[in-house]
Structure formats: C-alpha cells, structure tokens
A and B are shown apart, each in its own frame.
Chain A
Amino acid sequence: KQEVTQIPAALSVPEGENLVLNCSFTDSAIYNLQWFRQDPGKGLTSLLLIQSSQREQTSGRLNASLDKSSGRSTLYIAASQPGDSATYLCAVRVQTGANNLFFGTGTRLTVIP
C-alpha cells in the first residue's frame, strides 16, 4: 500500500525567507502528484498538479518538483509571506480515474511577520 510522508510536520520561518517542503512516497508507480493548501477549518485548495511524466510545475512563487524514481517531491515557496501560513498536503494518485489518492499528514507552515 502506498504510504506518503511529509517532513517536517511543522515549520516556522520569518517573512521573506525561501523554504522547501518535502514529500516522499513508497511506491513510485504513480499517476500524478498534487500539492494542496488547507487553512484551519477549511477545505483543500489545489496548488499544483504534476503528472508522472513531468519533472516540475510552477505557479507564481510556488514550484513543485517530482522525482518519481526516488519517490520524492518538493514544494518550494519563494519569498514567503504571512498569508502563506497554512497546512500543506501532498497527495499521490496511483492510477487514472480511481479513488487511489493517498494523502500525506501535512506540514503546518507558519510565516512570522
């Protein structure tokens, strides 16, 4: 069974710093990987989706990379802002159109003004 791990569980950084969140998964046979943001008591907002054939995706200050063979993905946040404070979840899908979306436990990010 696919297991998804996120390290660290929590991270505090001063405003303006660049940071990297890590996600690892045990089975490299994935269909795609998605990064989400969750604010306290709220649902999930999709940030970036990387297909298994891709190496990275970028959106604004966010850049996500995927190394499928080593079972790793990173989310890079440039010039962090207090509004970036949230829990970031990565999730991998193991086959197309199926319910096999496995979530990590998340990294809770706090950006200190």
Chain B
Amino acid sequence: GAVVSQHPSRVICKSGTSVKIECRSLDFQATTMFWYRQFPKQSLMLMATSNEGSKATYEQGVEKDKFLINHASLTLSTLTVTSAHPEDSSFYICSAIGGLAETQYFGPGTRLLVL
C-alpha cells in the first residue's frame, strides 16, 4: 500500500534554531501534500496545503514566514520551522493524497521539542 515517510522522527533543538522536516511519498506521486500539527490529546490541525511547484496555502493563524514549506517534487515536501520557540514544540504530521480513491495517507509524524 501507499506509504508516506517523515524524517526525522524526533528532534530536540535549542530555542532560536531552525528545524527542517522532510515528508516523502514512497510509492506514489502526490500532487498535494498537507502539514498538520497536533498538540497533546488534541486532534490534528491543518497548517498548510502544499502543491508541487507552487506556493503553499496556509491556514488562518499559521505564520508563513515561520513555517516555510517547499514542495519541490511530486514525492517530497519539506517544512522548516524557523527560529523555533518552546511553544512550537508539537507533533508534526504530513500527509499526501494519492491513488484513484483519493485516500489521504499520513506519515508517522515528527516530534519536535524546543528547549
């Protein structure tokens, strides 16, 4: 079945540094990828939608200059958290739509801890 991978799975960084998270669709082409954030015991909140070759569409309240998204190919999207702060600590999950049924497949998530 379709697989979406994320790297790294966990990252700890100091406040003020930038962190890049990669999301790859391993056996299908994804014209659209999504980035979600999930705080403890809460559901997923969509941050942005990433279309290959074009600028990402951000949800209301998500700072596009802080969360840089690049969708360079049909199988890779990256999320860079710039100048990370402790309040950015969260579980970040990417997702991609693929296949005839337009099922949305999710990556395993990246846990970010900003000290």
Which residues in A have some Cβ–Cβ distance to B below 8 Å?
Answer: 32, 34, 36, 41-46, 49, 51, 89, 91, 93, 96-97, 99, 101, 103-106
Q: How far is the CB of B112 from chain A (nearest CB, A)?
A: 13
Interface centre among A42, A44, A106 (most CB of B within 10 A): A44
Closest to A44 in B: B106
Interface set of B (CB-CB < 8 Å, partner A):
6, 32, 34, 42-44, 46, 49, 57, 91, 93, 95, 97, 101-109, 111
Of B46, B93, B103, which one neighbours A46 at CB under 8 angstroms? B103
The DSSP consensus for interface residues of chain B is: strand
Contact of A97 with B44 in the complex, beta carbons under 8 Å = no
Could you tell me if A89 and B43 are in contact, using CB atoms closer than 8 angstroms?
A: yes
**Count of A-B contacts with CB under 8 A?**
50
Q: Which residues of A contact B103 (CB under 8 A)?
A: 34, 46, 49
Q: For A51, what are the chain B residues with a Cβ–Cβ distance below 8 Å?
A: 101
**A92 to B28 Cα, complex, angstroms:** 22
A-B contact pairs, 13 of them (CB 8 A): A34-B103, A36-B106, A42-B109, A46-B103, A46-B106, A49-B103, A89-B44, A97-B97, A97-B102, A99-B34, A99-B46, A101-B104, A103-B43
Residue of A42, A49, A89 touching B101 (CB-CB under 8 A):
A49
A42-B108, A43-B108, A96-B102 as given contacts; A105 in contact with B42, CB under 8 Å: yes
- Rounded to whole Å, the gap between the CB of B40 and the closest CB of chain A is 10
A42 to B57, CA, bound (A): 25
Whether A104 pairs with B102 at a CB distance below 8 angstroms is no
Chain A residue at smallest Cβ distance from B50: A99
A44→B34 contact, CB < 8 A: no
Enumerate the 6 nearest inter-chain pairs by beta-carbon distance, A residue then B residue, closest first: A99-B49, A44-B106, A43-B108, A43-B109, A103-B43, A105-B43
Contacts of A42 in B (CB 8 A): 108-109
